[in-house]
């Protein structure tokens, strides 16, 4: 909401006196419409518009009741969504749709905590490595989406939720004016490794990783019960020579 004001000087025709008045005009940015489609079972979601009604039942009418969960050192049942936060929610096998009307989000600054965070983005798509991270707290190679399994994400799309790992507490910013993909100096140690693939998740073996880079090959916390998950038992995507695979 913005308030535009101006001063008007009005002279009376009969008395010739001059009166001062204020002209104000309240206006709102126009709303936009957005239709989002979600696959069946557990998915990660976010709220890409500013809306008066942020109840999950209003935003996700096709979702299974009481399945909206946030993350804060564990999963917490929620009723409402907040811009910038990521959530789990569950649909039946047919999936669902979300038809939204609200105000556009062009810039969003998030406070994140050390270790794993669930986040969501703005009203437009941006590259994951275009996130502004002035303190370099984002652990490289740890922005994950979920669709039948965890997978690294190159894009932050409206209405989806993402995992991100941080070295420390701090702030990051997403902005529509900074959506150009940056050149990353991250070296992927998995490039020459052998791998096996389960749904969207790749597990690698026969590779060495320097200790200081180990977090870059970690997986987010396991999803809620009933969702598919696969990982090495130490929550990593790789093993040196051998390892035990944990399938959920």
Q: What is the pLDDT of residues 130-177, one digit of tens each?
A: 999 999 999 999 999 998 899 999 999 999 999 999 999 999 999 997
Question: And the tokens for 30?
Answer: 């126009």
DSSP designation for 40: S
Positions of the chain with pLDDT lower than 50, given as ranges: 1-2, 4-16, 18-25
Question: Residue 184: its pLDDT value, please?
Answer: 63
State the pTM of this model: 0.84
Q: What is the pLDDT of residue 178?
A: 67
pLDDT at 99: 93
User: Other C-beta atoms within 10 Å of 1: how many?
Assistant: 7
Instruction: State the pLDDT at residue 185.
Output: 74
Give the 3-state secondary structure of residue 172. strand
How far is it, in rounded angstroms, from Cα 164 to Cα 71?
Answer: 12
pLDDT of residue 1: 43
- CA angle (211, 212, 217) in 5-degree steps: 75
In this structure, are residues 78 and 87 in contact, taking their beta carbons and an 8 Å threshold? yes
Give CA separation, 193 vs 196, 203, 221, 236, 239, in Å.
10, 10, 24, 14, 10
Q: Distance (Å, rounded) from C-alpha 177 to C-alpha 183?
A: 17
Q: What is the pLDDT of residue 2?
A: 47
Tokens of 167: 């070295």
Tell me how crowded residue 61 is: count the other CB atoms within 10 A of its CB.
Answer: 11
SS3 content of the chain, % helix, strand, coil (to 5): 5, 45, 45
């Amino acid at each position: 909401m913005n308030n535009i004001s101006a001063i008007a000087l009005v002279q009376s025709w009969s008395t010739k006196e001059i009166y001062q008045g204020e002209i104000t005009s309240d206006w709102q940015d126009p709303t936009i419409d957005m239709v989002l489609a979600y696959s069946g079972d557990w998915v990660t979601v976010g709220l890409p518009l500013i809306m008066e009604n942020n109840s999950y039942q209003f935003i996700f009418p096709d979702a299974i009741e009481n399945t909206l969960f946030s993350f804060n050192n564990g999963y917490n049942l929620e009723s409402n969504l907040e811009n910038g936060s990521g959530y789990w929610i569950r649909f039946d096998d047919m999936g669902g749709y979300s038809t939204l009307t609200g105000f556009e989000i062009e810039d969003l600054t998030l406070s994140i905590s050390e270790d794993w965070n669930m986040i969501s983005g703005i009203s437009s798509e941006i590259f994951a490595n275009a996130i502004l991270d002035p303190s370099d707290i984002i652990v490289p190679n740890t922005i994950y989406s979920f669709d039948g399994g965890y997978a690294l994400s190159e894009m932050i799309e409206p209405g989806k939720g993402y995992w991100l790992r941080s070295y420390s507490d701090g702030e990051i910013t997403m902005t529509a004016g900074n959506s150009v993909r940056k050149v990353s100096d991250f070296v992927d140690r998995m490039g020459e490794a052998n791998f096996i693939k389960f749904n969207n998740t790749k597990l690698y073996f026969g590779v060495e990783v320097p200790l200081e880079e180990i977090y870059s090959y970690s997986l987010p916390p396991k999803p809620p019960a009933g969702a598919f998950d696969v990982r090495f038992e130490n929550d990593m995507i790789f093993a040196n020579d051998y390892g035990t695979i944990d399938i959920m």
